Structure 1
Amino acid sequence: MEIVLNQIKSKYLEIFSLLDIDNIEKTFQKVASIKGPLEAKVFIINESISCHQLSKLKNHFDKLYICSLCIYSNNRETILSGKSLKIDSTFIKGQEIKNKLLLLNSKNKDDILHKGTLRSGDRISSNGNLCIIGDVNPGAIVSAKKNIYVWGKLLGIAFAGKSGNINASITSLYLNPLQLRIADVIAIGPKDKPKNCYPEIAVIDKRTIIIRPHIIQN
């Protein structure tokens, strides 16, 4: 079981494992000093958690300033236990849980390499460069303080140079985004699909985002 606490005001993120739900006092002592309001997400893979166990977990959350609590699991009994306690509980596949945890763990890292497709609702952010081997589907959002590289289709929203770096760029094998942003310059994606069969790069030129062929020189 993985627990994610998100401090809403400061966007502070704490991720920790709970190996024994029947002995959770020591685990919660470590996070008792985190000030709220907090959002709590509980990810459970291949575990059947009873109503009694979840009730005990919820009681510990109640001691913190929790404004929302969600459970994600691939075990239907766990989901039913959560719903019986009126906890927001969602059934998703185990691989989807792993992908969500990967994205959350990546938030505090610098350069990030992500392998896999980002679907609608997924978000990934880097404090350095961001390289994605896979597609960024419509509804997904990717951002980086430096450059963004998508080794696949960029169909969602991309924000490079989020700290104000006007020299940042966005590169993709197939560039057809809903929106591009570099520093404080924003561009809406083209209505027509790209006809080119080569990588393209988006950069700022005279306060406008332009797209041109991305030529890699040896």
Structure 2
Amino acid sequence: MNNLVIFKGHTDGILVLLDNNTDFENIITALVRKLEENKNFFKNSDIVMKIKGRVLDMIQKEILLEILSAKNITQVSFIDFDELSDPIDNLNIKIVEEIIENKPNTIKYSNTCYWTGILRSGQEIISEGSAIIIGDVNPGAVIRAYENIIVLGNLNGRAFAGMNTIFENPYIIAYGMNPEQIGLGEFLATAPRETKKFVGLNAPEIAYLNSGVIHVDKIDIKLMQSMIQ
């Protein structure tokens, strides 16, 4: 079981290799053990972690994120598709198709989505373009967009932008940024376990990628200009 989960140093953080020939339950057990063995290393550190080696569905990813967030590891990306293949056929797109079939409360838009009103727990929006929400996104609600997400209200649920990974520089903007989880392309982040909050500046904020790390900052004109150039 020692080789089911392997930690390797990486220029951008830690690369985690998962065994592809065992049950997911064994992966969980091995990961928890590895984290406990190295708890002093992860304590009070800002770790960026990349996970690869096997294809994980969204539920499995969320389980791993919950385990890692308990150790204050909130910057996580999953490399679970062949980087040499056409990005539009990657796992993220396939996940969207599977979710639609199994969730009657899911609404899919073929272009940019404009939603007015509160997005409530259990509701899910999927947009093949960008998603613009005029209202609050409650805990338990989900937004998935192939491009960008803008919430003209409080983002308290989950939001995943850039799900079509050929789309460059995805971002999420919210007037109140307190999501349960956010994702930009292949990168996911959860709020730190102690606070369960991100920056919380009481002002419009933007989540964006910089060198493979999700940052959340107050909206700045220069920052926006650099992203669209």
Relative to the length of structure 1, the TM-score reads: 0.50
Counterparts of 1:54-203 in structure 2, within 5 Å, are 104=107, 107-164=108-165, 165-190=167-192, 191=195, 193=197, 194-203=199-208
Give the partner amino acid of 1:211. V
Corresponding residue pairs, total: 123
The structural deviation recorded for 1:170 is 0.3
The correspondence for 1:205, drawn from 200, 210, 221, is 210
Please give the alpha-carbon distance, in whole angstroms, between the structure 1 residues aligned to 2:143 and 2:124.
6
- The CA distance in 2 between the partners of 1:196 and 1:40, in whole Å, is 34
Q: Give the deviation of 1:124 after TM superposition.
A: 0.3
CA distance in 2, matches of 1:116, 1:157: 16
- The offset of 1:197, in angstroms, is 2.5
Deviation at 1:215, TM superposition (A): 3.0
Report the Cα offset of residue 206 of structure 1: 1.1
For structure 1, the 5+ residue unaligned runs are 1-9, 14-37, 42-99
| 8 Å contact kept, 1:144–1:161 | yes
Bigger Rg, which one? 1
Give CA-to-partner distance per residue, 1:17-46, whole Å, 9 cap, x none.
Answer: xxxxxxxxxxxxxxxxxxxxx8797xxxxx
Unaligned runs of 5+ in 2: 1-96
Q: Is the 8 A contact 2:160 2:183 kept in 1?
A: yes
Partner SS, residue 125 of structure 1:
strand
Question: Residue 146 of structure 1: SS of its match in structure 2?
Answer: coil
Q: CA deviation at 1:209?
A: 0.3
Which whole-Å CA distance do the structure 1 matches of 2:185 and 2:177 have between them? Answer: 18
CA-to-aligned-CA distance 1:66-122 (integer Å, 9 cap, x gap): xxxxxxxxxxxxxxxxxxxxxxxxxxxxxxxxxx6xx63xx1421011001011100
Residues 178, 195 of structure 1: alpha-carbon distance in 2 compared, 3 angstrom cutoff = closer
Change (3 A) 1:39 1:187: closer
- Between 1 and 2, higher relative CO (CA 8 Å, sep ≥ 6) is seen in 2
Alpha-carbon offset, residue 168 of structure 1: 0.4
Q: What is the aligned partner in structure 1 of residue 13 from structure 2?
A: none
Using structure 2 for the length normalisation, give the TM-score.
0.48
Look up the equivalent residue of 1:172 and give its one-letter code: A
The CA deviation string for residues 113-150 of structure 1, in whole angstroms up to 9 with x for no partner, is 10010111000011001000111111000010110000
Aligned partner of 1:154: which letter?
A: L
Identity of aligned residues (%): 35
**Cα-to-partner distance string for 1:159-188 (whole Å, 9 max, x where unaligned):** 000011341000000001010100000110
* Structure 1: distance between partners of 2:117 and 2:164: 26
Confirm or deny: 8 A CA contact 2:177 2:200 kept in the other structure. Answer: no
Structure 1 residues 147 and 122 mapped into 2: Cα distance closer, same or farther (>3 Å)? same
